[in-house]
Structures are given as C-alpha cells and as structure tokens.
Chain A
Amino acid sequence: MTTTPIAGRATAVAARATDLSKVYGQGETQVVALDRVSVEFRQAEFTAIMGPSGSGKSTLMHCVAGLDTFSSGSVRIGDTELGSLKDRQLTKLRRDKIGFIFQAFNLLPTLTALENITLPMDIAGRKPDRQWLDSVIDMVGLRDRLGHRPSQLSGGQQQRVAVARALASRPDIIFGDEPTGNLDSRSGAEVLGFLRNSVRELGQTVVMVTHDPVAAAYADRVVFLADGRIVDEMYRPTADAVLDFMKQFDAKGRTS
C-alpha cells in the first residue's frame, strides 16, 4: 500500500470502483441506486461528483468511502478491497486512510477546535505529526481559534475545522458530502480554496459530491451521474460549462 501522501503528479489510483451496484429491496419494489458504475479517483486529483437528486451520487460516495455496503462489484481504496472487509476493518480503514467533510460540519460540541481536528488520531491513539498539523492549521487560518468550541465559531470557521480534521491525519483520500451546502458563498469559496490547495500543494486526493456548479468548478474533473450510472465527465471544468451541461442534461432528462 502506498501511504505517501505526496506522490507527485503520478497517475496512481487512490480509489477505484468497478461494476459497482447498489440495489435496495427485491422484486417489484426493487430500486437500483447504482447500476454497474466503474470509476477511478486518481491520486492528487480533485474530483467532483454531480448529478440531480436521486442520481446516486451520494450513494456512490458512501460506498467508495466505506460508509455503506454495496450489492455487487468491487471497491478498492489503494490496494484494499472493501467488499471483503468486516465492520471493524472498515472502521479502521476509514480512520487511517480516509478523511471526511460533511455538509452539517459534524463537529463534537464538547471538544475544542484543536481537539476536533486531532479526533481521528486520538481515536487511533496516535500522536499527530506536529509540523504537519501546524501547516494544516495555518493553511485554514485557525491558529487563534484553536481553544474555541464549535458553538463559538461561525459556520465557515466550523467547516474549516472539519477540513483541517480531514487533512490532519494525512489520509489517502478525502470525501466531502456537499461541504459547502450550509455555507454562504464567501465561506464556501474559502473552504473550496483550501481543498484545491491541498490537492495542488500537498498532493491530497479529494472527492466531493456537490450540486453547485460553482463548487464543481474548483475541481480538476467532474463526474456526472444520472439514474445510478455515470453519464459523462468533464476535465478542467468552469462553472459555466458545468451549468450548461446540467441544463442540457436536465432537458434531456425531461424529454426522455
């Protein structure tokens, strides 16, 4: 397994889904959330997953991130096949290899900002790498807020804490679920900037689910999902291009 976070601009794959299917229910009431999806997330790449509601974009992320089980196919994080893992091993994998950023920040109100940032390492019983931690904290600009509790921080600051938490343990890959969904546009832009910087400067791999074309434009690549299938992808997206595509796509969706 490669654990070096900075692998240069290599095209090594951080996570890969092959023929991934997720089916709810049986028989007549069967709902296919993911239909034989194959996708790769390369190291040091910032990928956005887009698609209309119910397209399966969140399900895809949850399955790849080891948060949800899948019906068939395979998911690999680095060299680890997720399908064969038990809950404990999955938990350990999430703890050590994956970082998360949620829409609702999901910080622990009883912990200070710093404690929230180091939480995954505390859980693992590891000492954080001081230097790395310092650089992450400086990057998100939280140096003077470390002793504050989440309730004393603004939404943007809280999400910056969440970003720092995801980065602090140097995971192989970071998953974000609508990370700017609860933020105003300025705070949202800040958070997206941090994510992009972490990819460009630190070689971090980031996968983000979003419905906001502006957010998607920060990514290196956008993957479009509809009805549980990947319908298209776009490299070096701009907000306008993404918006155009979505419009087109929506229209197609309506006529079909």
Chain B
Amino acid sequence: MFRTALRNVLAHKARLMMTVLAVMLGVSFVVGTLVFTNTLSNALQNSSAKGFDHVDVAVTAEAQESKGNQLARTPELTDELLERSAEVPGAASAIGVVQGFTAIADKDGDLVGGGFQSQGGNYWGTKDERYPLVDGHAPKGENQVLIDSETAKRTGYKVGDTVRLSIDGPVLKPTVVGIFTTDDGNVAAGGSLALFDTATAQKLFGKAGTYDEIDVRAAAGTSEDQLKAALDKALPKDKVETITGGELADDQAEMISSSMSGLKQGMLVFAGISLFVGTFIIANTFTMLVAQRTKELALLRAVGASRRQVTRSVLIEAFVVGAVAGTAGLLAGIGIGAGLRSLMGALDATVPDGPLVISSGTVATALGVGVVITMLAAWLPGRRAAKIPPVAAMSSLHAQATTKSLVLRNTLGALFSAAGVAVVLAATGMDGSSGQAPMGIGAVLLIIGVFILTPLLSRPLIAAATPVMRIFGVSGKLARQNSVRNPRRTAATASALMIGLTLITGMTVMAGSLQQGIDKMASSALRADYVVSMANGNYLSTDVDRTLRELDGVTATSPLRNAPSRIGGETEYLTGVDGSSITQLTELPVDSGAFEVGGGKVVVDDETAKSKGWRAGSTFTVHYEDGKSDKLTVAGVYEGNEMIRGIMIDNRILTPHLEEPADMQVMVKTADGTSEATKDRLEKALGNNPAIAVQDKKDISNEIAQMFTLILNMVYGLLAMAVIVAVLGVINTLAMSVFERSQEIGMLRAVGLDRKGIKRMVRLESLVISLFGGVLGIGLGVFFGWAAGELLAAKMPTYELILPWTRMGVFLLLAAVVGVLAALWPARRAARLNMLAAIKSE
C-alpha cells in the first residue's frame, strides 16, 4: 500500500504542486514570523547586554512613597554619594550618569532619529570608557558636544562642525569636538546620542549637582554580588537602590522580549490566518484528488484493499506532501524572515545587527505544522475515498459531484452565525474593555458560521450576478452555472479570500473611523490656531510660553503645565493654564457651573469630578509639591477628552509652588489665524528649533492620519500573504475543475465554442467565485468594523462610523484581480485541451 501511495504522489506531480505550494506558503509565513521576531529580540537582547558591560553595580535613587498630604521627593544622587561609592572596598571606579533629552538637527534643520529617542548624556572626565572616541577629544563647557558615530554618519557632521541642539526649547549651537561609538541599544535602533561634559549635562538637564545613576566598576577579583553587598552596606539604604549589571541586563532583556511579544503575537495571528486558509485549500485539493481517482481507488477496493488501506494510502500521500512542503516552507520562511529584517532596514527603521536565529523550535513548528495540517486536511477526503464502492471501478462515467444534502451543514452554520451575531451585538452594548472578549468570541463564531454557510449563500449571491453575466453570452451562462455546480468547493475557495478581506476591511473601517474620531477630539475642543510642543512629547521650557506671549500678532497663549499634588491623600496631577486666556484657546463643553479659572477657582473634568464626588461649588484642599496648601473651589465641570482633562488651575497660583515648572504644550491664538507666514514667524521666534513642533489643526490631523496609515500599511502587508494563499486556492480549484470537466470542454470545442470562449468561461467562473468571496469578506469586515467601533465609541464620544467606500471599492477590485490572475493558467490549459482526447469515451 505504501508503494501505491508513493507512486501516486509521483504520478500526479503537477496536481500536487498546488497543494505543496499552499502548505508551503502557510508554513513559510509561520516560520518567517518566528525567525524574524526571534532574530530581532535576540539582537536587541544582545545589544542591551552589551550596553551593561561597563556596569558592575548601578546605584539608583530609591523611589519614595507619598504619604498623607506630603508629596514624595526622590532622593538625590549627589557627588557625596558618588565619592562614597567609589571608595567602597572592591570598587575600582565610579561614574556619575546624567541623562536627558537632546534633539539634534541635521544639516537641513530636521530632527535626527525621528520616531526614536533623541538622547543626551554626560561624558565622564577626559576619558569615558563607556564611549570610546573615534575622533576628536572630550567636550568641555556648553559650546562643545560629542555625537555618536551613527548619527555622524547619517547627518554628515564632522569634528569642527556646528550643530543645532535643543534640550527643552531654547536652541544651542555647540561645536562637535568628537565622535564616539556606543553599543547603546537605543542608538542601534536608530536613535541619536549627544554628550556634554558632566557639569554642562547636569545644568542643561536641570539636575545641577546630581546624577541619575552611579555606575560602579568592580576591582579585579571582586564579583558583582560582592560589590553590591559592599555598596549596600556603605550607602544609605532608604535613599538608594543597588542592582548588578547582570540583573540590569536581565531586566532589560525581559522588558524587550515582552515588548516584542506583542509584535510576535500579531504576526502569529496573521500566520495562523494564512494557515487556516491554507488548511481549506489543502482539504479541497485532496478532495478533488480523491474524486479524480475514484476509479483507481475503486479498483484497489475491487482487488481486495480494505477501507482502512485506502484511507491510509491517502494519508501517506498527505504525509509525503506535508513533509516536502514543510521543508520547503521552512527554507522559504527563513528567507522571509531575513527579507523582513532588511525591509525594515530599507524603511529607515534601523534594526540592530545580529545573526539570523533559527531555533529548533522553529524547525519543529514548521515540520509539525506542515505535516499535521496536511494530514488533518486529508483525513476527511481519505475517509470519503474509503467509502467509494468497488463497483465504481466498472462504471465508465465520471464520478458525479456529491449532492449530499447540505441541511445539516446549513443548520449548523445558521446556528453559529446567529450566535455570533447575537454575541457581537450584545458586546457592542457593553462598555469598552469588558466588551472586548465577548466581541472577539462573537466574531470568531460568526466567521465560522458564515464559513459553514458559504455553500448556501453562494447560490443567491452568484445568481445576483446573472444580468451581468448575460453580456458574455454562453461563456457567461456556463461560468455562472459552473460556479454554483459544486457549492462546497466554491465555498471553500471563496472563503479563503473572504477571511483575508474580512480582516482587511474590518481594520480599514475601524482605523478610518478611529482616526476621524481622534481627529475631531483633538481639534473640536481647540480654538487655538497653533499648538506648540516638543516633537517627542517631552516637556517644554517655560521660556517658550514667555517668548510666544510677547510676540507681535499673538493675541493669547496658555501653556498646559503639568504638576503633581496631593489631594485627599492621593496623588493628583494639576494642569496649570493661563486663566485669563484659556477660554479663548479651548472650547470644552461645560456640564455644570461655569468655565472659570483664576484665583481659587478651578475647573474639573467630568470623570475626576465623579470619582471625587465634586460638583460645581465644591471646595477641596490641595497640597503642592513644595508642601504648601491651598483651598480651591470647583467653578465648573467640563467634558474631558484624551487631550485635555484633569484639574485646571491658574498658573499664577500654581507656578510659585513649583521647583522646575515645565509645560506639556503651549496653545497660541494669533490675530491673523493660521497661515504659512504666521507659522514661520512662530518657528522663527523659537529659533527654528527642530525639536519643537508648531502645529495647526491640520498638522495635528495629518500627524494622526500618518500614524494610522503606518499601522494600516503594516496590516496590509501582512495580509497580502493571506491573499496570495487565496490566489493559489482559486488557481487550485479552477485547475481541478478544468481537469474534471475536460470532456465537457472538449465537447464545447467540438460543437463550436472557440478557444477565446473557453478561456472567457473559465475566467468568468474565477471572477464570480472571487467576487463572491470579496463581497462576503467586505460585508463581514464592515460589520466587525462597525461593532468594534461601537465599543470604542463608548470611550470616545467623537467616534463616528466612517465607511471607506473608495477603499472598499479597491478591495472588491482586488478580489476581481485575484480572480482574473488566478484564472490565467487554468484558462490557458482549458483552451489548449486536446479536444479529441477529451471527447473520446473510455
């Protein structure tokens, strides 16, 4: 029996190619995903481990807990602590680390390393072993800076050039006095790093005389743990924490792998989808293979093979196919993984270098998935094969398509679909987070339900295409009838496309609506013409507000100043605004009271009011960070949103209590409204600082749109894979159909249908099936997009369902293209069929 099975695999090479391809694609996608994520996280882990080579024990400030009305203050790592650390027995040296944000402008004035961290730090003494210099010398004073070699390479800055930098607003123009290399993971990932001498760094980052961390090197013969113990003994326990370099690396590695797991899971979901789709293609193929071999298998039965032997022969065949395809998929997947990495590199998202990681787990998964899925998919057709009566060998007629009743299938499908719809609808009624799980379950149920129901749906939906098909005469008529001839097969083929398009459409609808919602939220409450903020979301210096306020043509400004405080024994963040101009800059709906900020009057967003039990007129006591307190009155309650929320207090009251006031953003209203000239003037007033973004409402919208486009493009790219699998599925089905109907096609040719007509017939069949899948997918996608949107709308009042008609049109077109492309080869084959062989009776 084994030999028979093996012979079969070899005898139907061409036919099996499709199966192999389908399995291979599914497997390669899974493998590609695994390889890519493993490689990336491994490289990131390596780079982070390298980053701690120079640290044996790090000393950091111990976070303190706020108690009562007193806001906690973080202890300072002073020079005194640094000296004590260096003198601990077993310590070779100690370095004080200062970190902060430093934006570097390239020669065109644009921010370097956009999207990644723009870091700044200190260069310790005259020779800092953390940062080996490749050129120049150590920096000294405010006018000298070092930049990392990657940034130097990207921008073309050399020693002696003047660079424009910004820490928190004002522009600095120091000279590059040296270039250093670093294994800092952040730089490896595409960020930039600028170093000043320690005193300058402390001053620029607002940490005069203190450090963020003290890195201690152990003397030869002292282990990290011994050094840690010694430091713990010598330093005040309540003020500092010690951690060894090894632990730091472990912590970071864990953090990286957990941050990668999201990406990994996301990609695995797509891999799973393509495998799921692939499974049906494989099952489909085997069903057809078995149908074609009815006579052969019946002959086997007639000469004495048992049912089990027949089933087994099909399964052995599947095993061979699975093993071959799994191996091929593994190789292709490794290629995909490597390709993805270089693709990310090409897209300017610098990924850290490292070897390609192909774990034994990946290999096992590839082969396991390939073999198991293929055998599972072949199991049902195998059983069906066993049921072929031996007498079928004697019949000269081709096996008729099974016309087994679809009643059970339809009932099951209807139940699943109804349950799915019900659960999804119920979930839309729930609030945001609690509705997520039921919605997911409902979505899966509905997809499975529709999947089971596709044979039933195929008839009416394809019948709807009749008027269009009529244009194509006989070819159209035959194509339409052929496409509903075997509803199961049509369904299996169309569902491959359906699933892909469901996801694409759902994502597009949701992203589009969400974008609109966020956009509205960002701009609807805003009356200001411009919003000025740090490009990376860091704090702005209060100088920015002061500069803008005094500028000609500016009619009103207000910063959003963020400050912690204690209210009723809890830490609350206050938003400091300019009470006299805030109403000109924002337009927040007021629930009760009046929007009045000034003196002891504050306004509070609805959520905070609710949790605190405040109403307009309530009073409360606030304890500022300097320990002083005030009695404040709630003048009004407003509807907060993602951008503006919290307790709004006048800066004249708040600022005196702050040690280092810093602003999240500054809102600006100008006399001339928004115009290029106004924007230029504002930017110029701020020194054309690359780190500062001056945005009007449209810029904000664009920025939000860009973010969504990026996410969507990634999703599209990944789903392209599912579509490729779907194309293969359609090709597969058509090729099989053409083969099965060769006698009919021969007859059609004999009675006068020319090659063109035959081709058209096959193409139209493909088109109809693909469009059927497309319509189902887009329909489901819109439903899911709407449902998920209902969940979001609970959290976001500005959310509104947007149906991207153009996109949906493009998707339908895509389905049509899939249909046409998939039909190319089968149609040619059909047209080339040897007419005589086809009509000759057996």
Which residues of A are interface residues toward B (Cβ below 8 A)? Answer: 62, 67-68, 87-88, 91-92, 94-96, 99-100, 102-104, 106, 108-111, 119-120, 122-125, 151, 165, 177-178, 181-182
Determine if B405 is an interface residue (Cβ-Cβ < 8 Å).
no
Q: Which residues of B contact A151 (CB under 8 A)?
A: 400
Known: A102-B841, A106-B839. A119 touches B751 (CB 8 A): yes
**Cα distance A106–B752 in the bound complex, in angstroms:** 14
A93 to chain B: closest residue by CB: B752
Q: Which residues of B contact A87 (CB under 8 A)?
A: 754-755
**Other-chain contact of A102, B482, B748, B753, B839 (Cβ < 8 Å):** B839
B485, B749, B750, B835, most chain A CB atoms within 10 A: B750
Determine if B836 is an interface residue (Cβ-Cβ < 8 Å).
yes
Known: A104-B743, A110-B481. A91 touches B841 (CB 8 A): no
**Other-chain contact of A96, B400, B477, B752 (Cβ < 8 Å):** B752
Q: List 8 A-B contacts (CB under 8 A).
A: A88-B754, A88-B755, A88-B756, A94-B751, A96-B752, A102-B841, A120-B751, A125-B474
**Cα distance A216–B396 in the bound complex, in angstroms:** 24
**Other-chain contact of A103, B473, B477, B752, B841 (Cβ < 8 Å):** B841
CB atoms of B755 and A110 under 8 A apart: no
CB atoms of A123 and B835 under 8 A apart: no
CB atoms of B474 and A122 under 8 A apart: yes
| B 478-514 to A, binary, CB cutoff 8 A, 1 in contact else 0 | 1001100100000000000000000000000000000
CB atoms of A100 and B751 under 8 A apart: yes
CB atoms of B841 and A123 under 8 A apart: no
A102 to chain B: closest residue by CB: B839
Q: Which residues of A contact B473 (CB under 8 A)?
A: 122-123, 125
Within 8 A of A (CB), among B42-71: none
CB atoms of A110 and B751 under 8 A apart: no
CB atoms of B751 and A122 under 8 A apart: no
Determine if B747 is an interface residue (Cβ-Cβ < 8 Å).
yes
Which residues of B are interface residues toward A (Cβ below 8 A)? Answer: 396, 400, 473-474, 477-478, 481-482, 485, 743-744, 746-757, 835-836, 839, 841-842
**What 8 new A-B contacts, CB under 8 Å, besides A94-B751, A165-B751?**
A62-B836, A88-B754, A91-B752, A92-B752, A100-B747, A104-B839, A104-B842, A106-B747
Q: Which residues of A contact B836 (CB under 8 A)?
A: 62, 67-68
CB atoms of B754 and A91 under 8 A apart: yes
CB atoms of A67 and B750 under 8 A apart: yes
A91 to chain B: closest residue by CB: B754
Q: Which residues of A contact B841 (CB under 8 A)?
A: 102-104, 178, 181-182
**Cα distance A87–B755 in the bound complex, in angstroms:** 8
CB atoms of A94 and B485 under 8 A apart: no
B744, B752, B835, most chain A CB atoms within 10 A: B752
User: Shortest distance in angstroms between A68's beta carbon and chain B's nearest beta carbon?
Assistant: 6
**Cα distance A182–B842 in the bound complex, in angstroms:** 11
CB atoms of A67 and B835 under 8 A apart: yes
Known: A102-B747, A119-B474. A124 touches B485 (CB 8 A): no
CB atoms of B753 and A123 under 8 A apart: yes
Q: Which residues of A contact B396 (CB under 8 A)?
A: 104, 182
B757 to chain A: closest residue by CB: A123
**Cα distance A154–B667 in the bound complex, in angstroms:** 86
**Cα distance A123–B835 in the bound complex, in angstroms:** 17
Q: Which residues of B contact A178 (CB under 8 A)?
A: 841
**Other-chain contact of B478, A88, A103, A108, A120 (Cβ < 8 Å):** A108
Q: Which residues of B contact A92 (CB under 8 A)?
A: 752, 754
B744 to chain A: closest residue by CB: A108
Q: Which residues of B contact A182 (CB under 8 A)?
A: 396, 841
**Cα distance A223–B185 in the bound complex, in angstroms:** 92
Q: Which residues of A contact B753 (CB under 8 A)?
A: 91, 95, 123
CB atoms of B750 and A110 under 8 A apart: no
Q: Which residues of A contact B757 (CB under 8 A)?
A: 123
User: Shortest distance in angstroms between A97's beta carbon and chain B's nearest beta carbon?
Assistant: 9
User: Shortest distance in angstroms between B250's beta carbon and chain A's nearest beta carbon?
Assistant: 67
Q: Which residues of B contact A119 (CB under 8 A)?
A: 474, 748, 751
Q: Which residues of B contact A123 (CB under 8 A)?
A: 473-474, 748, 751-753, 757
Q: Which residues of A contact B744 (CB under 8 A)?
A: 106, 108-109
User: Shortest distance in angstroms between A139's beta carbon and chain B's nearest beta carbon?
Assistant: 20
B477, B746, B749, B754, most chain A CB atoms within 10 A: B754
**Other-chain contact of B750, A88, A96, A100, A104 (Cβ < 8 Å):** A100
Q: Which residues of B contact A104 (CB under 8 A)?
A: 396, 743, 839, 841-842
A166 to chain B: closest residue by CB: B751
B477 to chain A: closest residue by CB: A122
A103 to chain B: closest residue by CB: B841
User: Shortest distance in angstroms between B402's beta carbon and chain A's nearest beta carbon?
Assistant: 13
**Cα distance A91–B396 in the bound complex, in angstroms:** 28
Q: Which residues of B contact A62 (CB under 8 A)?
A: 836
User: Shortest distance in angstroms between B647's beta carbon and chain A's nearest beta carbon?
Assistant: 73
Question: Nearest 7 CB-CB pairs, A to B?
Answer: A95-B752, A110-B481, A106-B747, A104-B841, A91-B754, A103-B841, A122-B474
User: Shortest distance in angstroms between B492's beta carbon and chain A's nearest beta carbon?
Assistant: 19
**Cα distance A124–B751 in the bound complex, in angstroms:** 10
Q: Which residues of A contact B749 (CB under 8 A)?
A: 91
CB atoms of A94 and B750 under 8 A apart: yes
Q: Which residues of A contact B751 (CB under 8 A)?
A: 94-95, 99-100, 119-120, 123, 165
Q: Which residues of B contact A94 (CB under 8 A)?
A: 750-752
Q: Which residues of B contact A120 (CB under 8 A)?
A: 751-752
**Cα distance A177–B836 in the bound complex, in angstroms:** 11
**Cα distance A200–B482 in the bound complex, in angstroms:** 39
**Cα distance A182–B840 in the bound complex, in angstroms:** 13
Q: Which residues of A contact B752 (CB under 8 A)?
A: 91-92, 94-96, 120, 123-124
Q: Which residues of A contact B481 (CB under 8 A)?
A: 110-111
User: Shortest distance in angstroms between A102's beta carbon and chain B's nearest beta carbon?
Assistant: 6
**Cα distance A181–B400 in the bound complex, in angstroms:** 21
User: Shortest distance in angstroms between A158's beta carbon and chain B's nearest beta carbon?
Assistant: 11
Q: Which residues of B contact A99 (CB under 8 A)?
A: 751
